[in-house]
Structure 1
Amino acid sequence: MSSTVSTELEVRWGECDPAGIVYHPAYIDWFSVARMHWLRHHGVGYMEAFHDQGLVVVVLGVECRYRKTLRAEDQVRVDARLVTLTRTRMKFEYQVWNAEGVLCAEGSTEHAYVDASGRAVNVAKRAPQLWGRLQALHAES
């Protein structure tokens, strides 16, 4: 298992319904922010490492379990970690915590590497340096 990277966010009004409660798709956006932060934290900028190499990271699946309501202006921490890595896919898990340290949501995203035409890519063959870096990160605890 790889290391966990935390991302601090403040719930924005635009992420809420008229009652000020976070609307469920906002969590999926937070997962994306946390994933990009995890990569950047480990020296893997998405645009340079993937996009500029002709690799697209597509979402195959998303899961989220909502445990406690969050509201506008709440401070949250989203923890992300890479849990599965293969030559064609990766999976991240996330936990969303409020300022009091209560788990408010948890989930995961699974991704595949494809080229611009949407065809599956073996990242080890297409971008061996990136593959080596991702393997090393995944092996770290």
Structure 2
Amino acid sequence: MSPVDTTFRWPVRIYWEDTDAGGIVFYANYLKFFERARTEWLRHLGVEQQKLREQVGGMFVVTGTQLRYHRPARLDDLLTVTARVTEPGRASLTIEQTASLQPADGSAPILLCEGSIRIGWVDAVQLRPQRIPTAVLQALAPGNQ
């Protein structure tokens, strides 16, 4: 039996606002694309961040990033941005993310950027680390994705 693919995929279209003076995606915008994909991935799993903040008093914060750029994206490109937990923990998670170009001809995706994003759970008021709520950890478990 082959392992279940737990990678979440989210489409992102490149607009003028995403590009720099050279007509390519500004490097920092990949972090925005990754953030959007993580948010949609959590929503897909039934984890609504605003509701958690209001009901549980905690939230996720980014504590570290590491990115590698392979090729540029350009205006009107359609990307697929992925998110997948690689290091689950009780107070933090490491999420592997990629942004790939989806060629119009249907050929294989082209990797543009890949990264590792570490997020931690904190008290929303004091910003002190806390354990991730059990319900959130259960939603993130491989069998639930």
The equivalent of 1:133 in structure 2 is 139
- Choose between structure 1 and 2: higher helix proportion: 1
Question: Residue in 1 aligned with 2:106?
Answer: none
Equivalent residue, structure 1, for 2:92: 89
Specify the alignment match of 2:35 in structure 1: 32
Opposite residue 127 of structure 2, the aligned amino acid is G
Where do 1:87-126 residues align within 5 Å?
87-100=90-103, 101-115=109-123, 116-123=125-132
Amino acid aligned to 1:46: Q
Rounded to whole Å, the distance in 1 between the matches of 2:137 and 2:111 is 33
Size of the aligned set, in residue pairs, is 135
Q: TM-score, normalised by structure 2?
A: 0.84
CA RMSD of aligned residues (A): 1.8
Q: Which runs of 5 or more residues in structure 2 are unaligned?
A: 104-108
- 1:12 equivalent in structure 2: 15
Match of 2:49 among 46, 49, 55: 46
Distance 1:38 1:110, change over 3 A: same
CA shift, 1:140, in A, is: 5.4
Q: 1:20 to 1:112 in 2, by over 3 A?
A: same
Q: CA deviation at 1:93?
A: 0.7
Determine which structure has greater relative contact order: mean sequence separation of CA pairs < 8 Å that are 6+ residues apart, divided by chain length: 1
How far off its partner does 1:132 sit? 3.1
Any unmatched runs of 5+ in structure 1?
A: none
CA distance, structure 1, for counterparts of residue 118 and residue 30 of structure 2: 15
1:43, distance to aligned residue in structure 2 (A): 1.5
Query: How big is the shift at 1:130?
Result: 2.8
